[in-house]
Structure 1
Amino acid sequence: MSAYQAEPYGPLTVRLVKAGRTKIRYRAGLLHDDGVRVVVRAPWAGAGVRDFGFVRFAPGDVFTEHYWRDRWYAVKEVRDASGLLKGWYCDVTRPAVLTGSELLVEDLDLDLWRSADGTDVRRLDEDEFAASGLARRDPEAARAATAALDELTALAATDRFTTLLT
């Protein structure tokens, strides 16, 4: 895979919502939808470079994003412009909703990173999650979110992680 490739099933707009507000909206190509899992591909939609210290997202990077209608997370495979796998960035979210050509995803602050070789697995933004007040406003959603992060963490520590994406 080289640069961003055209979508085989048509374009979608991915709308990521956080705390009731649209955080980012971007175009993506629909690759797969089996009624449960939606897979899209999009170029890095951020402005400029985002350097986390352990990985950099930059113009030219390509994200193959896996969303589920029945799971509380999304898994994003990240490759550079040459196709080299950087790793997987996982967002804890409410189950995705596809309406027409818009995929709505509600970000719940918790994230996980798994490097391409699987040696670096990091839970991210637990402080943001605690500060969000979700546990107080919606305890059931908060429990589902923390369970999703625990599930992703356990899977990321094994070779079974990539079976999520097949």
Structure 2
Amino acid sequence: MSRTLTAGESVTVRLVKGGRTKVRYPAVVVRDDGTHAVVRAPWAGAGSRDFGFVRFEEGDVFTEHYWRDRWYAVMEVRDAAGALKGWYCDVARPAEIGEEVVVEDLDLDLWLSADAATVLRLDEDEFDASGLAERDRDAAASARRALDELEALARAGGFAALLAERVAG
């Protein structure tokens, strides 16, 4: 059951992968217009995690953008002092938002560095190995289109502006 979240309320974000909950964490709602929900949460991992291109660590703050009609979620990542690290994007089925924000991760990811100099398509091998293309061709095609759309936005330099407009407006 979908509902519109209220700014300032607490909500749980649940990331599902392969039918199982991968991670669950608390967040605070920034805004929700009925299609696009924005929440803010501290780094939910245990300790630090170094991906090679970015390190997520205690004190990092994620401003997370979820859409009920798009096949991705975008997380703006800032360090404890507020400096932008970049944007981590999950290709996922459209968010289900009710008592929780539930997102089904489809393995494909994209990273855009704060200076916009680095755009990385991630985990395409995991996506291919997942078997989604065999189980659900339409979902696999939507996931690939979403990754292409995210990359095009990132390379066009409109990525940050799109999210800033959504948060402000």
TM superposition score category, shorter chain reference: over 0.9
Partner of 1:40: 39
1:164 deviation in Å? 2.8
CA distance in 2, matches of 1:164, 1:33: 15
CA distance in 2, matches of 1:56, 1:8: 29
Residues paired across the two proteins, number: 159
CA distance in 1, matches of 2:162, 2:106: 20
CA deviations on 1:43-89 (whole Å, 9 max, x unpaired) are 00011111011100000000000000000000000000000000000
Percent identical pairs in the alignment equals 69
Identify the match of residue 137 of structure 1 among 135, 138, 151. Answer: 135
Query: Structure 1 residue runs of 4+, over 3 Å off?
Result: none
User: What is the root-mean-square deviation of aligned Cα atoms in Å?
Assistant: 1.0
1:8 deviation in Å? 4.6
CA distance in 2, matches of 1:140, 1:164: 27
User: What TM-score do the two structures reach when normalised by structure 1?
Assistant: 0.94
The answer to whether residue 25 in structure 2 is matched with residue 20 in structure 1 is no
* 1:164 match: secondary structure: helix
1:9 deviation in Å? 2.1
Partner of 1:96: 95
Partner of 1:4: none
* 1:104 match: secondary structure: strand
Partner of 1:112: 110
* 1:144 match: secondary structure: helix
User: What TM-score do the two structures reach when normalised by structure 2?
Assistant: 0.92
Partner of 2:64: 65
1:158 deviation in Å? 1.6
Query: Structure 2: where are the runs of 5+ without partners?
Result: 1-5
Partner of 1:151: 149
Q: Could you tell which deviates more after superposition, 115-124 or 152-161?
A: 152-161
CA deviations on 1:13-61 (whole Å, 9 max, x unpaired) are 0000001000000000011100000000000001111101110000000
1:163 deviation in Å? 3.1
Partner of 2:3: none
